[in-house]
């Protein structure tokens, strides 16, 4: 597990957020904070609103009620024309990579630089090559299209795009979903390496229990529209709350915990 360096002021502050889509209630009075320098995970079962909350934090959706502060600003400012400076301070890797199929890997990675800077084509080319190397992809992969890449390579390409602007905050939406366990573990290790190298704060939406044990400093578990629990994986695994116990002590949860703890489960 990574070691976080915290400050007193949260880098993200979610206060009493509620979200409705017509009669459907997604969130009810959700509050959480993310501190600078940590890997913070938002977990929970399918349909619990993890990705919706991420989209609200980065300004793609507006909650029905409540307030979200991102890097000291109201996240709703991201919809304004002057929100560009805030956009440049964070990177997002969307679920399954979300690469543009008609662009090469290098062209995909270059998109934020072309949209948000006035850098020359040569400088952009050099930065893109650096970031492609930084995520462990070979130099010749930059000329390939997403369809020519494996699933793991596409995720790494999407990660290169997310860090191409040198953000201080990185969002990952289900980064290891559908990956082979060994490839997923290597991706987790890459995230930790980049966090240390670049001084990132990482917010990760995931239901991958192996990833949670491996790299998360703290985890918020969503369910029934609420934050059911928040803390380290050790704290959550020891919780007496039935909903949290069902999530962490099912067959997959117990196997992930045993892998992390070297075969020794936490006992009540």
Residue 82 has pLDDT above 60, yes or no: no
Task: For CATH 3.40.50.300, list the domain ranges present in the chain.
Answer: 22-89+168-262
Residue 217 neighbours by CB distance under 10 Å? 20
CATH topology assigned to domain 22-89+168-262: Rossmann fold (3.40.50)
268 vs 179: which has the higher pLDDT:
179
Give the pLDDT of residue 268.
38
Pick the closest to residue 92 from 20, 170, 40, 28 (CA basis): 170
Mean pLDDT, the chain, whole residue set? 87
Contacting residues for 50 by C-beta, under 8 A, at least 6 apart: 42, 43, 44, 205, 206, 207, 222
Give the pLDDT of residue 262.
57
What's the pTM value of the predicted model, to 2 decimals?
Answer: 0.88
For 138-167, write each residue's pLDDT tens digit.
989 999 999 999 989 999 999 999 999 999
Give the pLDDT of residue 267.
38
Give the pLDDT of residue 7.
47
Dist. CA 194–CA 198, nearest whole Å:
6
Q: What is the pLDDT confidence band of residue 6, given thresholds at 50, 70 and 90?
A: very low
> Under a CB-based contact definition with an 8 Å cutoff, are residues 185 and 153 in contact?
no
For 51-60, write each residue's pLDDT tens digit.
999 999 999 9
169-173 β-sheet, strand order: 90-93, 169-173, 201-205, 39-44, 218-223, 226-231
For 115-128, write each residue's pLDDT tens digit.
888 999 999 999 99
């Amino acid at each position: 597990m990574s070691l976080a360096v915290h400050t007193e002021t949260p880098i993200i502050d979610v206060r009493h957020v509620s979200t409705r889509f017509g009669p459907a209630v997604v969130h009810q009075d959700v509050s959480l904070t993310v501190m600078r320098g940590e890997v913070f995970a938002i977990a929970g079962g399918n349909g619990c609103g993890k990705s919706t909350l991420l989209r609200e934090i980065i300004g793609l959706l507006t909650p029905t009620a409540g307030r979200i502060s991102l890097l000291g600003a109201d996240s709703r400012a991201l919809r304004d024309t002057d929100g560009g400076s805030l956009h440049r301070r964070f990177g997002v890797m969307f679920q399954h990579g979300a690469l543009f199929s008609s662009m090469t890997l290098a062209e995909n990675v270059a998109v934020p630089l072309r949209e948000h800077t006035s850098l020359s084509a040569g400088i952009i080319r050099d930065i893109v090559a650096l970031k492609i190397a930084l995520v462990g992809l070979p130099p010749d992969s930059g000329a390939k299209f997403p369809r020519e890449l494996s699933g793991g390579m596409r995720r790494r390409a999407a990660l290169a795009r997310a860090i191409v602007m040198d953000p201080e905050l990185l969002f990952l939406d289900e980064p290891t979903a559908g990956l082979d366990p060994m490839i997923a573990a290597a991706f987790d290790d890459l995230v930790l390496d980049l966090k240390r190298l670049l001084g990132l704060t990482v917010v990760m939406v995931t239901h991958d229990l192996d990833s949670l044990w491996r790299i998360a400093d703290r985890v918020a578990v969503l369910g029934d529209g609420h934050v059911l629990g928040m803390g380290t994986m050790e704290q959550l695994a020891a919780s007496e709350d039935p909903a949290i116990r069902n999530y962490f002590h099912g067959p997959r949860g117990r196997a992930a915990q045993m892998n992390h703890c070297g075969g020794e489960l936490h006992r009540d």
